[in-house]
Structure 1
Amino acid sequence: MSQEKQLKVILFEMNGETYGVPVEQVLSIEKVDGITRLPNAAPFVKGVMNLRSIITPIIDVRERFQMGHSKITPDSRIIVVEQDEMSVGLLVDSSKEVLDIDADQLEQAPEMIGGSSAKYLSAVAKIGEDQLLLLLNLKQVLNQNDVAALRANGVEA
């Protein structure tokens, strides 16, 4: 299959499920270190971290998906992405690998795939015989209202 028909995604795990985010949207993957809470922030905003001298808001993806709070373990990672000209860290259970997905493996995410968390998905890919990969829609994980609220809290990353 040609390069134009493949999507490179970074796989990560959350609550036992495999998710992906397109590699071109990822700035870096970091270990969790020194998250500072923000007063009056939304419940899914874990806080901020100083990443290479850039104050970066950290989103608890489990909390955003209404799966409960993340427990930080040695495997936990921050996937730093750019959204609306802001660097944002996504707190996930673990980061796994980079995978090439053929375009014909992608299907639009069904509207009823998981209740309220379905809006945070852009597509579903079948990988292997019985495994599905859920691709995040970053514009929904952190929408313009969320970015505006972070900026109102003084975060300009």
Structure 2
Amino acid sequence: MQIMYIIFKLNNQFFGVEVNQVISIERLQPLTEVPGTAHFIKGIMPLRGEITPILDLKERLSMKKTTTTDENRILIINLEDIQIGLIVDEATGVIDIDSTSIEPPFEMISGVDNRYIKGIAKVDKKLLILLDLTKVTDQNENIQLHESSQSIN
């Protein structure tokens, strides 16, 4: 079975998330900071009538902090009924991956904790780390995200 993935880069590594998990891909915009939130929650922004919390995905995955460029994008996802944005270095495209070519994650991949990884796929001589977006935040962080999205409304 073929599954469509959105491919993006973090620190020159390729990652993928299932296309059905992503609402849209947006350009990076100015954010309003929300005091007292986790270090990887960069702020909030209005998007299509909703206040959307924005996370730096690299910081969340314990990678180095994102340097802002024109290539940065925000993947807008819906996580437990909260619309959130994930800052990535660059969105590079959409591809089909055969589910039989997805392997379980190795013990530790490029410093990314296995709990965030759904699997690994090799596509066009590139190793793709496939993320499980449902595990990007824990329950306490989901509460913070919900509160920050409600703080303006």
Partner of 2:42: 46
Moved more, 114-123 or 81-90: 114-123
- Superposition TM-score, scaled by structure 1 size: 0.90
Q: Which runs of 5+ in 2 are unaligned?
A: none
TM-score with structure 2 setting the length: 0.92
Does residue 112 in structure 1 map to residue 108 in structure 2? Answer: yes
Runs of 5+ consecutive residues of structure 1 not aligned to the other structure: none
Say whether 1:144 aligns with 2:139: yes
Task: Tell me the C-alpha RMSD between the 2 structures.
Answer: 1.7
Q: Does the 8 A contact of 2:21 with 2:77 survive in 1?
A: yes
Instruction: Label 1:97 to 1:154 Cα distance change in 2 as closer, same or farther (>3 A).
Output: closer
1:154 Cα deviation after fit: 5.2
Q: Detail structure 1 runs of 4+ shifted over 6 Å in the superposition.
A: none
In structure 2, C-alpha distance between the alignment counterparts of 1:30 and 1:63, rounded to whole Å: 19
Q: Give aligned pairs, total.
A: 152
Equivalent residue runs for 1:88-103 within 5 Å: 88-103=84-99
The one of 26, 37, 51 equivalent to 1:30 is: 26
Q: Which residue of 2 aligns with 1:21?
A: 17
- Alignment check: 8 A CA contact 2:116 2:133 kept: yes
Give the percent of matched residue pairs that are identical in Structure 1 and Structure 2.
Answer: 38
Q: Residues 11 and 97 of structure 1 are in contact (CA less than 8 Å); yes or no, is this contact kept in structure 2?
A: yes
The one of 5, 17, 23 aligned to 1:9 = 5
